[in-house]
Amino acid sequence: MGLRNYIGQKQPIKKTGKQTKINFPKDNLTSEEIALILGTIRNATFKGVDIEILHSLTLKLQNQFINLEKK
């Protein structure tokens, strides 16, 4: 799996009146990808400044994982 180069690519642009909207692709993670990320988080060590953000991110990932497993 590689990283996408969004900076070098031309993005589809929708003009809506005065504002210009850029549409980024909406990629969804698979349950296997979420499980890998959650496992990596479980086995890692973090500093205190990262804990609050990491907690929020982990809850979101767990909720998405549960929703994927229900389907």
**Per-residue pLDDT tens over the stretch 24-70:** 556 678 889 899 999 999 999 988 888 899 999 999 999 988 888 88
* C-alpha distances in Å from residue 38, one per residue of 31, 51, 57: 10, 14, 10
Where helices occur in the chain by DSSP H, the ranges are 31-43, 51-70
CB-based contacts of 15-22 (< 8 A; 24+ apart in sequence): none
Count of Cβ atoms closer than 10 Å to residue 58 Cβ: 14
What pLDDT is recorded for position 40? 92
- Coil, strand or helix at 5: coil
What pTM was computed for the model?
0.53
- Asked if 65 and 34 touch (Cβ cutoff 8 Å), the reply is yes
More confident residue, 2 or 37: 37
